[in-house]
Structure 1
């Protein structure tokens, strides 16, 4: 009798673990929020202020909303960022919207290579942390929920079979 209760408890835990996976929260950042990735009227202030309100971590994504053929997004070195040097970018995505996964910690620099867009302020500098150690935002509350649910089921199973 006791062994069948233990087998049932193990089965319940296994099913719950598979059905409700626990994951690390990753954030999708829409660059410029509703403004998108465009030439601004205030130079790079729009993107500097936007980045200051964000926390970036490895595994997060940047979504650059722009119209293909009018803008692009290129990752460049720090040396190329200041003077808006468009030759030899680290990467370049000409198709909007572009989604970039942040795969390394450290400073990352993005510019638009169309015309004078970068020199007019269409550029973004961010610092990416090695891991996201902050509490998930409400947009990521499903991740918190999925971590709590298996523990709740485990407690219920233990109470039921005890």
Structure 2
């Protein structure tokens, strides 16, 4: 009987601990508006994220006129060449929310000439 009580208490403590870890992770994520008050626009490549402490689980918010731009999640080669590869995910709502994994993520605008004019960012989430 005592052994069962200890096991149940240990299990309850573990569940409580894991719940607190999960809540801490959820609460600590942050939203970042790409381009700040200017939004997703040309010549953003060297201005954003600009040293922001971005972490895995944070959300990038891309705000733009959907008739004039889009957001395409690409790999490093697509970023360097300004060319989305097969299977690249395209967003076009004008208010896109993308949750970042850990590591480096790459985004471009695929409208003609936009990426070549600096409408692309790479973001490294810790």
TM-score (norm 1): 0.59
Relative to its length, the structure with more helix (as a share) is 1
Kindly indicate whether residue 83 of structure 2 is the aligned counterpart of residue 91 of structure 1. no
Looking at structure 2, the residues matched to 89 and 65 of structure 1 have their Cα atoms a distance apart, in angstroms, of 23
Higher strand share: 2
**Alignment gaps of 5+ in structure 1:** 1-20, 41-45, 130-162
* Whole-Å separation in 1 of the counterparts to 2:45 and 2:34: 8
Q: Which runs of 4+ in 1 moved over 4 A?
A: none
Whether contact under 8 Å (1:77, 1:89) holds in the other structure is no
> Partners in 1 of 2:36 and 2:87 — Cα distance?
24
Q: Does 1:107 align with 2:104?
A: yes
1:73 paired residue number: 71
| 2:4 counterpart residue number | none
CA RMSD of aligned residues (A): 1.7
Task: Name stretches of at least 5 consecutive residues in structure 2 with no aligned partner.
Answer: 1-22
Measured in 2, the distance between the counterparts of 1:24 and 1:48 equals 29
Is 1:58 aligned to 2:61, yes or no?
A: no
The structure whose Rg is larger is 1
Q: Is residue 32 of structure 1 aligned with residue 29 of structure 2?
A: no
Alignment match, 2:116: 119
Count residues with an aligned counterpart: 103
Q: Counterparts of 1:49 and 1:117 in 2: how far apart (Å)?
A: 16
Kindly report which structure 2 residues correspond to 1:144-155, keeping only aligned pairs within 5 A, or say none.
Answer: none
